[in-house]
Chain A
Amino acid sequence: MRERWSISLRLTLWFGSFFFLGWLLFGVTMWLNLSTTLRAERDQTLSRRIDRFQEVLGNAQHEVQSERLGDFLEFSRATGNGLNEVFRPDGNREFSNTTPAAKKFPWPSLIGMQAEKYSLVVSGGQSYRVLLRPVNVGNRSLVLACAASESPNRLVLGRFLVGLGASVPVFLLLGSAGGYLVGRRALSPVDEITRRVQSISIGNLSERLPALNSRDELQRLTETSNAMLERLESSVLRIRQFTADASHELRAPLSIIRTSSEVALREPQLGGESRKTLLGIVGEVERATALLNDMLTLARADAAHGDLLWEPVDLAGLAEEVCETATPRAQQCELSFAISLPHDQPAMIMGDLFALRRLLWTLIDNAMKYTPHGGAVGLSLTAEAGSVVVEVTDSGIGIAAKDLPYIFDRFYRADPSRGDVEGTGLGLAIAKWIAQMHKAELTVSSEPGHGSTFCLTFPLAGK
């Protein structure tokens, strides 16, 4: 689940970032474009104004100075907020009486001016665009100056920026949502595939991933996975068949060895040494048979459901029965055996009677095996809301913490010194499997030197 989320998240982030970067690039371009356009337009306006200014002064070249001044003032007041001025090349004003705005305006210096020139001037906290143009009016050289405020353009650009900024969250949100949706759409079959793959184990290898027809990487992935499952399934089938065959093949010779030895043991004239040897053989065959049976049980366990017959089982009754069977052995080994069961109250679960009996027996047998004479073994069964809990405790040698995680492994023997204890080494592995088949939890806790507790928790039938 984590991988899936991270791909989705990464897609969302990537998509969001690209979307945002694209938007940013677009915004900057638009802003530059807008500001260039606005400036060009304003410069053109200034240039046109100065053209007309020139015309006004030119028309009046034969008139007297005062009339020219009148024309100029009239023009200046009507145009550009009065920010028009006529200079002589030396920088002095041609007309002493101009508009108040022009008089106050800090016109740029004319020194060294050859051709028409645009410049920026700051006045009263505002910036202005200024155009200076040298002209000849009649026989006089003059410089015409016009200025226009930048603020309307600044205002437009400012508004544009504010609009751009305000749309940042919207665009980020849109981008991320887009990325998320694209990611989800692309990855939605992955959820299904993950669910299916998680559900497939050695027990249901015949299942396949749902076929996709998307002609993309996911289709390739499912097809490849299905091909792999196919190969796994056929290998497992071969191994399973081999296990079944091998066990049958082994049973026949074991059977012959045992029966032959036992028949030979019945011969009246058999010598003492031969008798001992034959008894040894029978004992070994018995052990080999137990091992073969356990291995076969586990081999079947690997083949999905093993060989279980499901029916309602009274766990309390079963526990009582198993304890009854175990009591003589407890007495023989001088163990105290405490049994605690709910009175006359069945604890019904769905299960396989033989498997469950074997499970309980394995736990009790195990407890008795590892508890020295004079120790205590106990079984308690409690039915709680929705579950039945069986606890098997002993005061035996216990299990070291380093061994605890492995004691349910096949052929695992915690400690070489325990090697003299009888058993196939598969009992607890089988117990674990039986518990799993019944959806029960089998846990163990132990204190070395003080004993162990195996705890079985079954869900109640129908829950």
Chain B
Amino acid sequence: MRILVVEDKRALAENLGRALEIEGHSVAYAADGEIGLRLGRSTQFDVILLDVMLPLMDGFTVIRKLREEEIHTQTIIISARDSMRDVVYGLDAGADDYLTKPFSLEVLLAKVRAAARRVPAQEKQALQFEDLIFRPAQYQIQRGERVETLTRTECALMQALIRRARQVVPHGVLIEEGWGSDCDVSFDSLYVFIRALRGKITHKGEIELLHTVRGAGYSLRSTRS
């Protein structure tokens, strides 16, 4: 796989690159945000590892600009900013996944594998549940006139949920669909993504469709009962 590492700390970038190369990936480096954006635009990568605190342009801006240009390359934010606000902000900007520094190499490699697995959806046709239309090919959901773009992680979760609409989708299944079985994703992490997805599915004043089922998982349904 082709992987872009956008990280200004040379020692970290080099070590990450070495580990990824040992895994059999090919690695390109960018030491600041502008080079990162340029490379992300010009070259086809499978995964981008993106630091947040970068010279010239911060990582959040890089990912937002890429998404604005319809570049949906799988992007994992690796950040020293660990507060929930920063994580949510990164996901809203369009990142597919996040890791806070210092991270376990094992987890990072698993997340890279999971990201690579989240290839563009096979299904081309749109799926519908109530007034919610999901178009996997366009990474979009539509509710009424409102159209929202999803990240690939969100697409994977959305697909798992809408295929089993009105049923309870257990945590484990969602984690499996989003990241694969070898990736150790906690309930907390899953919740952050579900929360971001819910924010896109339901806006203020609309009927809540994505419900939490206590101790079990999540479910797409029109009412609680």
Give the interface of A toward B (CB within 8 A). Answer: 247-248, 251-252, 254-260, 262-263, 266, 285, 289, 293, 296, 300, 307, 309, 314, 316-317, 320-321, 324-325, 346, 353-354, 357
Contacts and interface: CB of A to CB of B under 8 A. Distances in A.
Interface stretch (B9-17, B114-122, B161-169): B9-17
A259 B105 contact: yes
Nearest to B12: A256
Given A263-B19, A346-B214, A252 B104 contact: no
Interface stretch (B25-33, B61-69, B80-88, B152-160): B80-88
A80 to B, nearest CB: 107
A252 B80 contact: yes
5 contacts: A251-B102, A252-B80, A259-B19, A266-B22, A353-B191
A266 B191 CA distance: 32
B23 to A, nearest CB: 9
A317 B12 contact: no
Contact of B16 (A248, A259, A300): A259
A325 B22 contact: no
B215 interface: yes
A187 B104 CA distance: 62
A321 B105 contact: no
A263 B15 contact: yes
Nearest to A266: B22
A314 to B, nearest CB: 6
Interface string B1-43: 0000000010110011011001000000000000000000000
Contact of A316 (B15, B106, B214): B214
Given A252-B9, A317-B212, A354 B84 contact: yes
A296 B88 CA distance: 18
A257 B9 CA distance: 12
A248 B53 contact: yes
Nearest to B18: A263
Most buried by B among A247, A254, A258, A324: A258
A32 to B, nearest CB: 84
B92 to A, nearest CB: 13
Interface string B62-102: 00000000000000000011111100100000000000011
B145 interface: no
A262 B9 contact: no
A262 B106 contact: yes
A285 B15 contact: no
A461 B83 CA distance: 25
A378 B214 CA distance: 20
Contacts of A257: 102
Ranked nearest first, the 9 interchain pairs of A and B with the lowest CB-CB distance are A317-B214, A262-B105, A320-B215, A255-B102, A255-B101, A251-B80, A258-B102, A307-B83, A254-B102
B212 A259 contact: no
Nearest to A355: B84
A255 B103 contact: yes
Contacts of A354: 84, 188, 191
Nearest to A250: B80
A259 B106 CA distance: 10
A247 B18 CA distance: 26
Contacts of B88: 309
A314 B19 CA distance: 42
Given A255-B103, A316-B214, A353-B191, 6 more contacts: A252-B80, A254-B101, A259-B16, A289-B102, A296-B82, A357-B188
| Interface SS of chain A | helix
A325 B187 contact: yes
B19 A266 contact: yes
Contacts of B212: 314, 317
A307 B101 contact: no
Contacts of B82: 251, 293, 296
A255 B214 contact: no
A324 B103 CA distance: 25
A259 B12 contact: yes
Nearest to A346: B214
B188 A260 contact: no
B103 to A, nearest CB: 7
A260 B11 contact: yes
Contacts of A321: 187, 214-215
A314 B213 CA distance: 10
Nearest to B16: A259
B91 to A, nearest CB: 13
Contacts of B81: 248
A149 B218 CA distance: 111
B15 A256 contact: yes
Contacts of A263: 15-16, 18-19, 22, 105
A258 B104 contact: yes
B101 A252 contact: yes
Nearest to B23: A266
A309 B18 CA distance: 38
Interface string B200-218: 0000000000001011000
A426 B36 CA distance: 39
A398 B79 CA distance: 40
A309 B80 CA distance: 20
Given A251-B101, A251-B102, A316-B214, A262 B83 contact: no
A325 B106 CA distance: 21
Most buried by A among B11, B53, B81: B11
A317 B106 CA distance: 31
A254 B9 CA distance: 12
A320 B15 CA distance: 41
Contacts of A346: 214
Contacts of B18: 263
B137 to A, nearest CB: 32
A285 B214 CA distance: 35
Nearest to B102: A255
Contacts of B215: 317, 320-321, 324
A311 to B, nearest CB: 9
Most buried by B among A262, A300, A307: A262
Contacts of B105: 258-259, 262-263, 266
